[in-house]
Chains A and B, each alone.
Chain A
Amino acid sequence: MGVEGIGAKVLRKEDRRFITGRGRYVDDMSVPGMKYAAFVRSPHAHAKITGIDTSSAEGMPGVIGILNGQQLQGDGIGNLICGWAVSSKDGTPMKMGAWPALAVGTVRHVGQAVAIVVAETQLQARDAAEAVMVDYEELPVVTTAVDALKEGAPQLHPEAPGNLIFDWELGDKAATDAAFSKAAHVTKIHIHNNRLVPNPMEPRAALGHYDPAEDHYTCWTTSQNPHVARLVMSAFYNVAPEHKLRVIAPDVGGGFGSKIYIYPEEIVCLWASKRTGVPVKWTSDRSEAFLTDAHGRDHETDVELALDADNKILGLRVGTIANLGAYMSLFSSSVPTYLYATLLSGQYDIPAIHANVKTVYTNTVPVDAYRGAGRPEATYVVERTMETAARELGISPAEFRRKNFIRSFPHQTPVIMAYDAGDFDATLNAGMEAADVAGFEARREEAKSRGKLRGLGMSCYIEACGIAPSKAVGSLGAGVGLWESAEVRVNPVGTIEILTGSHSHGQGHETTFAQLVAERFGLPVDNVQIVHGDTDKVQFGMGTYGSRSGAVGMSAIVKALDKVEAKAKKIAAHVLEADEGDIVIENGEVKVAGTDKKLGWHEVCLGAYTAHNLPDGMEPGLKEGAFYDPTNFTFPAGCYICEVEVDPETGTTEIIQFVAADDFGRVINPMIVEGQVHGGLAQGIGQALLEGTHYDDAGQLLTASYMDYAMPRAWDLPNFKVSTNETLCPGNPLGMKGCGEAGAIGSPPAVINAITDAIGNNDLTMPATPEKVWKALNAVA
């Protein structure tokens, strides 16, 4: 490795603009003539719209136009869709209710957009939006999935009787039943996985600009995948033809999944720009974000684990009810199914698994992927159950896990996934050593002497990243392929632009991706520019989510670099009159191995463009593209160990230590990887201790601001002890697995296992607030 190559801690190239206030986020953009939008939103969770009166609003200062759902439908703008078709176990297709970008007839959650107001200033737009009079006839409301399935529950969509979207299963029911009939011990537990609000710090925003002279549309949007946004808005929503629509996602202030989806607001801003003749910008405020950004998790699950007399796992049975909210968001169907049940084998050799998942409509914000997406839910199920079983049997949780680890690879689980590589003992050992598990009992005693309760909890997670082989996901119902593209453009002076379909919204791609070039050609990362986030520059790409930018996005770059390297070598061999196989490129020089014959990298590049001395028949130029379609998912795994101290007087939990021992395969920039783990841990610990999303019976979101929704603050969190082990992934050229979500996936069960260990009561739900912990403690004390 060079000083800036693979494995080097290279400081981030992108930082300079962010630390000097020169980042460019969507709300920072303006175009000549731009005006501002505000949305009229439903104050009711479920109601019929009986009238919209805009007359007084229209006369207010600065108002340019007010548009509603009927006009939107009249212009042929299509309903929002879910792009992953999942069928019920009896073969019936999922039941998708209509979701117009502006409500027509019925509203189904508080915050649903009903109309858009365009005005000269943002304040004028908001004033006028408040003056739009919408008449509603309230309908009965249901907010929990369990209630929505009951007889007589309020019905949301005529398309989905009983509010059931699908009743899906995975695995072998007969084999699982047979396993349970032989069991020496069965552990049963009910799991509640709390609804979360993603809360990237940059609220969503959209700037739609229709240019009548060119009949062309531009949309600046806070997106993790601008090309997908362009495709969906043109092919499915009919907003603009694809070749006349440019989507730009500039600097984006965090996403965590919530900026994958194409939301009503960007569709409506683009359409409204054409309708009103002015560029239209909308910026969400935080209250709107709570009411409209797709939420995450929200599962109720019953689990049963069957063990033989030797404590080996025989089978696992899981029944989950997943709340998808009022409408099916873009990938909502895949999260509680193919991203969840496929990971229920965890790190363990489980011969038989059966999972049943029911997805349900309720009068709440739509639920979709949030950091981890299905895999945190699966890990929470598996790791809470493993810990519970070990406690019931009175055996060491670590040894119980170890006894059931998968040790030979590839390993085919009963739930689709074929694990390609891993070393679960290695991360368990690393975690236990870093956490000084051996010394824990002494620390517990010491805490006791101070009147405090210490607990230790672990979680051995596995997840699936790098989503995914297009053919495989296609056969499972995905509406898109999940490859990635890259283009490497070498300039005549030898500097390089890499165009990628991945999108960075905090992940540091501008640095990590440049390190591949440093590694390959020995060029400084400063000579490399990463271009992303603009559909006019990058031809196509699938974007960033599911920790896929390394394993998939960078694999595409590697393929393109292979082609560039091959052509550069051909040119050099021709000029130096050497054999192509003898050419090596290192430290910015192109040399004939074993001789002193060489060219500067820049000389080869210039030669490619002057074309004065190229091999016969070679095209001029040095620019190559590649598409990479992964061959399998990748499987990051690790061991997280949390040590807590509970104050029995108040129920307050303090995290004394948090250890993360991960296996992400090849690490390109350890500083960035550690940062990703830190951030994931903060979100996972936030879920476990702090973040609860509450609706009242009328469907009002009670936790709709930072006064009520407990975001993790600096004082809630410890310093983290993180380390990595590199078991290379055999499925991609760099051996990478992905690191973006692990922290959020592995940490919640470790925290809850630690608290339940401390208080001696296993019956505790997330978020484990002081009140709940105090009650649980006193229920057994």
Chain B
Amino acid sequence: MTDVTITVNGREMKGSVEDRTLLVQFLRGNLGLTGTHVGCDTSQCGACVVHVDGKAVKSCTMLAVQASGSSVTTIEGLASGADLHPVQAAFREHHGLQCGYCTPGMIMTAVDMIQRHGSSLDEETVREELDGNICRCTGYHNIVKAILSAAGASQPQSIAAE
């Protein structure tokens, strides 16, 4: 067992874990932060995306011990109080979720994407950068729309016409 200290959503959290414990297992199992999901065992689906030191990371591909000393933001830490983060609000406004299972990972990925591209985001880039996030419910149409809207980017013609 190894001791880890991770700042999660602004609070310093300590734990003792088996070395093989994944970050997602630590977040869900040790801290009870069940908003971060597990949708696969091959690092393909992105349901587990969190931010580690400000960058989007699949928390199923990182050991908890590797994250020790880092600052992690999960979906639970994204909104400030009752105010939704603009990306969360955009997912709701544009119906970018159905069952909600992929949603936390989608939102964390989108926040990172928008941080890097800002309003210069376009549909093609969004679709390309969603490569690591699978949604089985929405067909992505409304997710793309929500991300472009949250980025303040213009919608492609095929969507803007709606």
Give the A interface residue count (CB, 8 A): 58
Q: Closest residue to A672 on the B side, CB-wise?
A: B95
Are A21 and B18 interface neighbours, CB within 8 A? no
Among A198-206, A438-446, A512-520, the stretch that binds chain B is A198-206
Are A254 and B126 interface neighbours, CB within 8 A? no
CB of B92 within 8 Å of the partner chain: yes
Question: Would you give the 0/1 interface string for A1-31, flagging 1 where the beta carbon is closer than 8 Å to chain B?
Answer: 0000000000110111111111111011000
CB of A395 within 8 Å of the partner chain: no
Chain B residues, CB < 8 A from A24: 34
Complex: A270 Cα to B136 Cα, angstroms: 29
Are B142 and A675 interface neighbours, CB within 8 A? yes
Q: Closest residue to A199 on the B side, CB-wise?
A: B136
Chain A residues, CB < 8 A from B126: 714
Chain A residues, CB < 8 A from B39: 201-203, 286
CB of B88 within 8 Å of the partner chain: yes
Q: How far is the CB of B131 from chain A (nearest CB, A)?
A: 6
Chain A residues, CB < 8 A from B95: 11-12, 671-672, 674-675
CB of A157 within 8 Å of the partner chain: no
Question: Would you give the 0/1 interface string for B126-162, flagging 1 where the beta carbon is closer than 8 Å to chain A?
Answer: 1110110111111111111000000000001011000
Chain B residues, CB < 8 A from A14: 100
Question: Would you give the 0/1 interface string for A247-265, flagging 1 where the beta carbon is closer than 8 Å to chain B?
Answer: 0000111101000000000
Are A202 and B37 interface neighbours, CB within 8 A? yes
- A254-B20 contact given A20-B35, A675-B142, A678-B138, CB 8 Å threshold: no
- A18-B136 contact given A201-B45, A715-B130, A719-B159, CB 8 Å threshold: no
Q: How far is the CB of A250 from chain B (nearest CB, A)?
A: 11
Interface of chain B: mostly helix, strand, loop or mixed: loop
User: Given A16, A23, A674, A717, which contacts B140 in the complex, CB threshold below 8 Å?
Assistant: A717
Among A48-56, A182-190, A531-539, A704-712, the stretch that binds chain B is A704-712
Chain B residues, CB < 8 A from A150: none
Are B139 and A681 interface neighbours, CB within 8 A? yes
Q: Closest residue to B126 on the A side, CB-wise?
A: A714
CB of B84 within 8 Å of the partner chain: yes
Q: Closest residue to A504 on the B side, CB-wise?
A: B99
Q: Closest residue to A719 on the B side, CB-wise?
A: B158
- Measured CB to CB, the residues of B under 8 A from A are 18, 20, 28, 33-42, 44-45, 47, 74-76, 78-79, 84, 88, 91-93, 95, 97-104, 107, 123, 126-128, 130-131, 133-144, 156, 158-159
CB of A123 within 8 Å of the partner chain: yes
Complex: A176 Cα to B139 Cα, angstroms: 40
- A252-B128 contact given A15-B91, A21-B75, A286-B41, CB 8 Å threshold: no
CB of A524 within 8 Å of the partner chain: no
Are B41 and A253 interface neighbours, CB within 8 A? no
Are A254 and B136 interface neighbours, CB within 8 A? yes
- A679-B138 contact given A21-B33, A251-B100, CB 8 Å threshold: yes
Complex: A104 Cα to B28 Cα, angstroms: 36
Complex: A18 Cα to B92 Cα, angstroms: 9
Chain B residues, CB < 8 A from A203: 38-39
Complex: A12 Cα to B78 Cα, angstroms: 20
Chain B residues, CB < 8 A from A28: 28, 34
Are A200 and B101 interface neighbours, CB within 8 A? yes
Are B134 and A711 interface neighbours, CB within 8 A? yes
Query: 6 A-B Cβ contacts within 8 A?
Result: A27-B28, A201-B137, A675-B95, A679-B98, A679-B136, A721-B158
Chain A residues, CB < 8 A from B123: 719
Are B130 and A713 interface neighbours, CB within 8 A? yes
For the complex of A and B, list the 9 residue pairs with the smallest distance between their C-beta atoms, beginning with the closest.
A21-B35, A253-B101, A18-B100, A506-B99, A682-B139, A21-B75, A706-B44, A506-B98, A678-B139
Are B138 and A675 interface neighbours, CB within 8 A? yes
Are A705 and B41 interface neighbours, CB within 8 A? yes
CB of A505 within 8 Å of the partner chain: yes
